[in-house]
Structure 1
Amino acid sequence: MSNISESKEGVKWYQFKSVTKVFGIHIKYFLPLSFVVLVALMTGILPSDGFVRSIVVLMAVGGLMSWIGSVVPLIRSVGGKLLFPMFGTVILMKTGIFPETASESANLLMDNGFQMFFVASIVVGTILATDGKLLKASALRYLPILFLVQVFGLAFAFLSSLITGKSFYEAVFFIAAPCMAGGTSGAITTLPSLYSSVLQTDMSTMSGNLFATAMLGTYLALAISIVMKILASNFPKLMGNGQGELLKKESAEITEAKKNMTVYPNSTNDYGDLIGGLFLSLAVTVVGSILNYFVPNVVYIAWTIIIVILVKIFGLVPDELCKKANCWSQFTQEYLIIIICAGIGMSSSSGVSLSSIMSPATIITLLMTFAGAIIGAMVGAKIFGLHRYETAITAAMCSCNIGASGDVQMLALTERMDLLAFATISTRIGGAMMLIEISILFPIVVRALGL
């Protein structure tokens, strides 16, 4: 990363040198290559081969938009790396700057399982990358608190529907759930895939709105954390401030697990790690599909999550395979997610409604959801012997953000970086728990409402 460019007047509105590569290619090469692709797109002379056209268009447009979103500070500050590929392409399609063939190129990839391919990679890799010993040691004290956080959060979302006039169906499943589904990947792909499998509709129609809702929720969660930090500093006893300690009395197992926690590398020089992680992710998803065949009331993504959590807790997967799954998962989260975001935005049926997302009703629902999550965390802290403030930050607020980067932001802001291990469990395992719960609740509610 280069130093930020500055002028005599101060920091420039752009910071071109802050990001020099797109998809691993230096920007001085990527820009002319992407320009060639865009000219071919707009003149109708792209290759006729379906997937060649689809992938190259989404990489060129998505990569360019992601770079712009990363080098313009104002856009970057609101998550522009992913936000701009999605909403920038929406604008290009709605204004007619891009031809309809662009939408056809996106739909070709998006309608043929690319999102589910991404979901499988993320779900398996992120859970297997969680330290198994810490997960097992904290299961009896921390995981029940995560469950309380989610129950209280969804319950308060339900109550918000009585105040705002929104249906409880929308408040719970389309506003609260995306913020507690384990980060951006949950909102962009996993939840839409789950909902689509039940509603039998195109998942791309809801991905944009769910992602934007999750981003809005992250900003609100950060604001709430600032308020909580001020209260914890001024009223430590009232807030249950543990001064950086989560557990009032830490078990020997947790102390040992934290001391010897396994951290898998996010990158690799061995291409076999990537392809092995890909196969592992897809193979475990197939096992989930088989279980779904015999127990159809639980969707196969939920079965996949259950399988991975269990094998991780009981140490049935060797570190070598966990490393491969994590490397592939990190690759998809770093690069493929940009293609996913561009594809969602470029799909003509995307239908992202910013006015709906920014409505007072949505904001009230999010605030009440987070209030419920905090109350649930503090109730759980009282029951299981944890400090209330630290529990509210890790179990509640780190369950309501965009994932790993959101965890770092939250803990840095509240000066609790030592609790990153528990924040990671909140995001990865808590998000998986939420997806399992939603996969059970959503079909029941859909049938009851006759949707």
Structure 2
Amino acid sequence: MKDYKIMGISLPVYFMLLAVLLIAMVLDVLPTGMIGAFAFTMLIGALLDVVGNNTPVVKTFFGGGPIVIIFASSAMVYYNLIPASVSENVKTFMKGGGFLDFYIAALITGSILGMSKKLLIKAAVRYFPTIIGGVTVALGFVALGGMLFGQSPAESIAYIGIPIMGGGMGAGAVPISEVFSQGLGIPSETILSKLVPAVALGNAMAIVFGGLLDKLGKIRPELSGNGKLMDIGEEELKMTEKKEDLTLTDYGIGILIATSFFGLGNIIAYLFDTYAGLDVHTYAWMIISVALAKAFNLLPQKYETACAGWYQFVAKNWTSALLVGIGIAYTDLGQVISAFSPVYLVLVFLVVLGAVVGSALVGKLVGFYPIEAAITAGLCMANMGGTGDVAVLTAAHRMELMPFAQISSRLGGAFIILMATFLVQVFF
């Protein structure tokens, strides 16, 4: 244990920092604003992440750290385990302080600009139709299931189907809740409390399905590529990770470009809302503008690399902090508890089953092996992003498919956000 580290910090030093935080909270002198918010969310988030990633069953079937962080943080507020001043400061930091938007701006810009353009072009012809097939069947299944249980198809799709297929929490359920909030005029925290259970259960079922598909491949070998998505040309589709040393200036460039793209999204959203009457969320316009910039090489490679590096920094150091904020500011534990029911479990199961069936069928039509298509374009859309990708591919014994899983998590989630933007206006 002497060499064990939390957030790269040795245990003695980490617990010294944690002691400072706890004493400040007990004395009610923890600074307000971003100082106190960062100290609390980063220290608590890192600790809860370790707990979740080392808890049996939870780490295997429920996504480990992210789920524990969200629900434990929400429980702290629900059971009054932290001072009200601390929870209110975190809520202000996440909402009025804009930390959520700041994180998502880095995520959208860096994840899209950081991908290989060659990979995107070659994979798009076959892979994106496979993703769309999985999403379509998943939403169709949950809509039909909802009707059987007396629930409207729109509600089943919006609160169960879309969040599960949306790419996790930070890149999926959170921005989706903001999109729904703008379209429906309902507080985003109310919506997110309905989405979180679906994301958690969908992730768990996706991992289980990964193991089942691996077994199916052994029983029906003609359906499996044993880790290969297609017969020929796969080497050209592999992700090309460029290892470049970034300077401090590069991180500043990444921040500036990410926040500028967010500003551009605001400008476009305002113009369309004002002059065309089209109310589309800023995130959607931001995704479109970043994708176009990537497609037409509008930014030098150096700047794209800087944005990707900044995103990696944000994801590495602040994801746990963000999840603490989500738990405190956006997740009402009482509403989450009331959402669980046998019907709810069945509808979640139908979403994941639909993702498998749809992606396998379309994947077969475009030349993919059905099992590999179902795992990557289906389950890696239904799980919780990066951590879910690792868990699903580990359960399926197909870690070599990670490049395709990343396409599902990065761009598939962005596609769901875009789709949610337009569906919310159609359904509601």
**Shared fold per TM-score greater than 0.5:** yes
User: Offset of 1:269 from its aligned partner?
Assistant: 5.3
- For the 8 Å contact 1:58–1:339, the answer to whether it is kept is yes
The amino acid of 1:313's aligned partner reads A
Residue 263 of structure 1 corresponds to 241
- 1:39 paired residue among 23, 28, 35: 23
Q: Within 5 A, what are the aligned runs for 1:186-265?
A: 186-237=171-222, 240-250=223-233, 255-258=235-238, 261-265=239-243
**Aligned CA distance change for structure 1 residues 333 and 352 (closer, same or farther; 3 Å):** farther
SS of alignment partner, residue 140 of structure 1: helix
Q: Could you tell me whether the CA contact under 8 Å between 1:120 and 1:282 is conserved in 2?
A: yes
Aligned with residue 147 of structure 1, among 116, 122, 132? 132
Aligned equivalents of 1:437, 1:248: Cα separation in 2: 31
Distance 1:142 1:92, change over 3 A: closer
- The answer to whether 1:330 aligns with 2:332 is no
Distance 1:17 1:354 in 2: 38
Given the superposition, is the C-alpha separation of residues 331 and 225 from structure 1 closer, same or farther in structure 2, using an over 3 Å criterion? same
CA 1:387–1:58 in structure 2 vs 1: closer, same or farther (change >3 Å)? closer
Q: Does 2:341 correspond to 1:364?
A: no
Per chain length, whose mean CA-contact separation is higher, i.e. which structure has more relative contact order (CA < 8 Å, sep 6+)?
Answer: 2
Q: Secondary structure at the match of 2:126?
A: coil
Residues 51 and 108, structure 1, Cα contact 8 Å, conserved in 2: no
**What letter matches 1:290 in structure 2?**
I
Is 1:110 the counterpart of 2:94 in the alignment? yes
Inter-CA distance 417–37: structure 2 relative to 1 (3 Å threshold): closer
Amino acid in the other structure paired with 2:205: L
Q: Map Cα deviations across residues 207-228 of structure 1 (whole Å, 9 max, x no partner).
A: 3553342122111011112222
Report the counterpart of residue 10 of structure 1 in structure 2: none
Cα separation, 2, equivalents of 1:208 and 1:17 = 39
**Deviation, structure 1 residue 255:** 4.5
Conserved? CA contact 2:193–2:331, under 8 Å: no
Matches of 2:175 and 2:75, distance apart in 1: 24
* Equivalent pair of 1:66/1:81 in contact (CA under 8 Å): yes
Q: CA deviation at 1:268?
A: 5.1
- The aligned amino acid for 2:240 is T
Query: Aligned runs of 1:350-429 on 2, under 5 Å?
Result: 350-351=332-333, 353-429=335-411
Which residue number corresponds to residue 87 of structure 1? Answer: 71
- The answer as to whether partners of 2:69 and 2:320 remain within 8 angstroms in 1 is yes
Name 2:249's counterpart in structure 1. 272
Q: Deviations over 1:392-428 (max 9, x none)?
A: 1111111111112322332233233332222221221
Other structure's SS at 2:252 match: helix
Kept after mapping to 1: 8 A contact 2:106/2:258:
yes
2:267: which partner in 1?
A: 290
1:20 CA drift (Å): 1.1
- Distance of 2:207 and 2:55 partners within structure 1: 21
Contact 2:197 2:339 (C-alpha < 8 Å) held by counterparts: yes
For 1:288 and 1:233, the matched residues in 2 are separated by 48
Q: CA RMSD in A?
A: 2.6
TM-aligned CA distance change 1:417 to 1:313, over 3 Å? farther
Is the 8 Å Cα contact of residues 135 and 313 (structure 1) preserved in structure 2? Answer: no
Q: In the alignment, is the contact (CA less than 8 A) between 1:144 and 1:380 conserved in 2?
A: yes
1:65 pairs, out of 25, 29, 48, with 48
Partner residue of 1:54 out of 32, 37, 49: 37
Q: What's the offset of the Cα at 1:18? A: 8.1
Give the match for residue 3 of structure 1.
none
Amino acid in structure 1 at the alignment position of 2:220? F
> What displacement does 1:177 show?
1.3
The amino acid of 2:347's aligned partner reads T
| Structure 1 portions without partners, runs of 5+ | 1-15, 447-451
Question: Is 1:27 aligned to 2:11, yes or no?
Answer: yes
Mapped partners of 2:194, 2:53: distance in 1: 21
CA distance in 2, matches of 1:76, 1:19: 19
Which residue identity is paired with 1:142?
Y
Please name the residue that 1:13 is paired with. Answer: none
Confirm or deny: 8 A CA contact 2:6 2:47 kept in the other structure.
no
Residue identity (%): 28
Helix, strand or coil at the partner of 2:125: coil
- Work out the CA distance in 2 between the residues paired with 1:323 and 1:143: 24
Q: Deviations over 1:334-376 (max 9, x none)?
A: 2222222222323397345443454222221121112222222
CA distance in 1, matches of 2:184, 2:125: 35
The superposition leaves residues 70-106 of structure 1 with CA deviations (integer Å, 9 ceiling, x where unpaired) of 4555654443422233222222222223222122111
Q: Aligned with 2:227: secondary structure?
A: coil
Q: Deviations over 1:159-178 (max 9, x none)?
A: 11023333333321221212
Aligned residue-pair number: 421
Distance 1:301 1:257 in 2: 28
